[in-house]
Structures are given as C-alpha cells and as structure tokens.
C-alpha cells in the first residue's frame, strides 16, 4: 500500500502573511489548511484581502480555508456574522476547500455547499473521546450535512480511545459513503494521525517545522513523510 506525500496537509498557523507563498508551495505535501483565524489581520477587511492575495499564487497547493472560532479554541474573536463573511470571501478568493464547524445552522451551511469550494465539516472534542455509540451517532449527524469530507478529532485519554475513533473511518464509508478524517489529538493519540491514513482517511494534518502546531500531537511535515515512506514501503 503506497502512501503518497499528497496525503499530507500542512497547517499554516501564522500571525503575519510574511512567507505565505513558501508554505502554500511547500514541497512534499498535498494540501494546506490555512488557519486564517491565526492572522492578526483577519479582523479587518484589508487584512484579510491582503492575505487572500496568496490564493492567486499559480503553483500553490489546494487550500482548506479555516476561520476557527473561540468556541473551538480558534483565534477568531469577531462576531459569528463577521466570521461567516470572512469564510465567504475565502471561497470567492479561490480556496478549494472550506472547513465548517458541525454546529453551524443549515442556512449557513447550504450556500457553502453550493459554492465552488468543497466542504469539510469538522467536529472537535478537546476534552476527551466519547464511547463508540455517541461517536457513531456524531458521524451519522455529520453525514447528513452534505459535506465532501467529514473530520472528527477528539482528545485521547487512553490508548483505546484511538481505536474507537479510527473505527469511524471505515464505518462512515460503509454506512454513509462518507470520506472521513478521524484521529485523536494529544500525545496518547499521536500515532493515530498516521494510522488514520492507513484506515482510509484522505489526508492527515501536520505541522510546518517553523510554525506552531495547530493542535496537540501533530507530526512535522518531514516526520510524516518519513513515516509514510517506511509504513507504505510494504
């Protein structure tokens, strides 16, 4: 089972737009999640426009635009309306993907579903990992929201937590035909960020070595490249 570097998604968490091009064109990865909520300028129209100019770079990777709100430990401090408007502008600026939280109402989701960008519906649980049934019900709910990819990330307290979350990947595909990224955050969940690819997730999130992690337990780009080369060597 060969594991290509295209399965690697670098997380761009940066306060300034300096060097944006370098990360959007980073070698040996497949796509970039741009955590726009980390940008100082995100809260002003010009600040966001200046950043989104990066999306017109010809040789860049596909971008997942994310503006994570404070309720999911993100950096966006504006109103929810302002956040949604920012997300809309990232789609107009050419982001191929957009990450939307699973607690958003249908009237917010549906225009994005019909937009040019593909949708990742994401659920994060930073406190722990529920039992198997609530996790499966969560997947069932996410699968009704019409996303192209589901993302579930919970915090691992025990080693078993990883297995219940990894199980969601084949479960979602079989039950709902849904492509799913499911892994555990934190040191005890770190290895599931590799295992999720082997279970069938379309990509895994990694840290650019020069930048902070966007969630606990992330590997660097180079570490994940090495892991994929070894484990995929068959």
Question: Which DSSP category does 30 fall into?
Answer: S
Binding residues for its own copies restricted to 117-176, rule: CB under 8 A: 158-160, 162-163, 166-167, 169-170
Q: Among residues 27 and 234, whose Cβ is nearest to its own copies?
A: 234
| Binding segment toward its own copies, per CB under 8 A, in 67-75, 101-109, 112-120, 226-234 | 226-234
DSSP string, 139-199: HHHHHTTT-SEEEEEEE-SSHHHHHHHHTHHHHHHHHH--EEEEEEESGGGTTHHHHHHHT
Least separation, in Å, of the C-beta of 187 and its own copies? Answer: 5
Catalytic residue among 40, 123, 124, 148: 124
Q: Does 234 bind its own copies (CB under 8 A)?
A: yes
State residue 181 phi and psi, 5-degree precision: -105, 115
Radius of gyration of the chain (CA): 17
Q: For residue 9, with 0-12 CB atoms within 10 Å meaning exposed, 13-18 middle and 19 or more buried, which class applies?
A: buried
| Binding segment toward its own copies, per CB under 8 A, in 9-17, 73-81, 84-92, 196-204 | 196-204
Q: Among residues 129 and 188, whose Cβ is nearest to its own copies?
A: 188
Beta bridge partners of 22: none
Q: Among residues 3 and 87, whose Cβ is nearest to its own copies?
A: 3
Binding-site members are: 33-35, 68, 193, 214, 218
Positions annotated as catalytic residues are: 124, 151
């Amino acid at each position: 089972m060969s594991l290509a570097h295209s399965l690697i998604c670098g997380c761009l968490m940066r306060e300034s737009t300096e060097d944006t091009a370098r990360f959007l064109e980073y070698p040996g990865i497949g796509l970039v999640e741009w955590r726009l909520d980390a940008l100082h300028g995100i809260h002003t129209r010009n600040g966001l426009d200046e950043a989104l100019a990066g999306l017109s770079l010809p040789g860049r990777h596909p971008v997942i635009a994310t503006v994570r709100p404070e309720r999911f430990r993100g950096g966006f401090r504006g109103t929810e309306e302002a956040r949604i408007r920012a997300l809309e502008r990232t789609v107009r600026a050419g982001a191929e993907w957009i990450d939307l939280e699973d607690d958003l109402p249908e009237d917010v989701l549906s225009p994005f579903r019909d937009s040019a960008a593909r949708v990742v519906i994401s659920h994060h649980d930073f406190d722990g990992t529920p039992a198997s049934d609530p996790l499966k019900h969560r997947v069932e709910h996410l699968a009704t929201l019409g996303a192209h990819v589901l993302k579930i990330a919970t915090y691992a307290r025990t080693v078993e937590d990883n297995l219940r979350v990894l199980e969601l990947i084949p479960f979602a595909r079989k039950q709902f035909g849904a492509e799913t990224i499911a892994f555990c955050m934190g040191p005890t969940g770190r290895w599931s960020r590799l295992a999720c690819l082997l279970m069938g997730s379309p990509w895994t999130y990694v840290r650019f070595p020069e930048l902070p992690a966007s969630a606990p337990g992330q590997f660097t780009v180079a570490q994940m490249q090495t892991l994929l080369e070894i484990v995929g060597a068959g």
